[in-house]
Structure 1
Amino acid sequence: MNDATGGESEILRQIDALVTEERDLREQNEHRLTPQERSRMRELEASLDQCWDLLRRRRALREFGQDPDAAHPRLADEARRFRK
C-alpha cells in the first residue's frame, strides 16, 4: 500500500468510527437526546463533513498527478460550504 492510499485508509477508518457513533446517537429518539448528545451530534456532522471533504480533495489531487498529502483538513464551516 502506498502513502496516498494509506492516508485515505486512515480517513476512511475515521469516517467509519464517526458514522458508528452518529448512528448510535440517532438510534435513540431524537427528542430524548440530552443537550450534550445534541451538541455531540453537531460535532460529529462537522467532523464527517471535514473528513469527506479531505478525502475528495486527496483523490482529486492524485487524479491530476499531484501529491494527495498536500491536502489538509479545512475548517468545519469551510468544509460544510463545499458539501453542497
Structure 2
Amino acid sequence: MRDNEILSRISELVDEERGLRERLRAGELPSDEENARVRELETALDQCWDLLRQRRARRSAGEDPDDAAVRPAGEVENYRQ
C-alpha cells in the first residue's frame, strides 16, 4: 500500500466514524453497536498511521518503504506499555 492509499484509507475510516457518531446522535444506532464499531475503527486507524510512519522512516533511512508491513492490532495498540 502506497502512502496516498494509506492516507485515503485513513480519510475513509474517519468519515465512517463521523457518520456513526451522527447516527448515534440521531437515535438511529444503538450505543453498544456504535461503541464496538468505533473501537474497530480506532484500531484500524492506529494500524494505518503506524504503517505510514514505518514507510516514512524507511524512506528517510534510505530503505524501501514497501518493506513496511501492517503490525498486529495488539502490537500497535499496546506499544506504549
TM-score bracket, normalised by the shorter chain, equals 0.7 to 0.9
* Structure 2 residue aligned with 1:16: 11
**CA–CA distance in 1 between the matches of 2:80 and 2:15?**
20
Where is the helix percentage greater, Structure 1 or Structure 2? 1
Q: Give the alignment's TM-score, normalised by structure 1.
A: 0.80
**CA–CA distance in 2 between the matches of 1:82 and 1:69?**
22
* Structure 2 residue aligned with 1:55: 52
Q: Deviations for 1:5-57, whole angstroms, at most 9, x for unmatched residues?
A: x700000000000001112223334xx85222211111000000000000001
One-letter code of the match for 2:6?
Answer: I
* Structure 2 residue aligned with 1:7: 2
* Structure 2 residue aligned with 1:3: none
The residue correspondences of 1:21-36 to structure 2 (distance < 5 A) are 21-27=16-22, 28-29=24-25, 33-34=29-30, 35-36=32-33
Runs of 5+ unmatched residues, structure 2: none
Kept after mapping to 2: 8 A contact 1:11/1:55: yes
Structure 1 residue 81: Cα displacement: 2.5
Matched residues, number: 78
Runs of 5+ unmatched residues, structure 1: 1-5
**CA–CA distance in 1 between the matches of 2:3 and 2:80?**
18
The root-mean-square deviation of aligned C-alpha atoms, in Å, is: 2.2
**CA–CA distance in 1 between the matches of 2:57 and 2:79?**
14
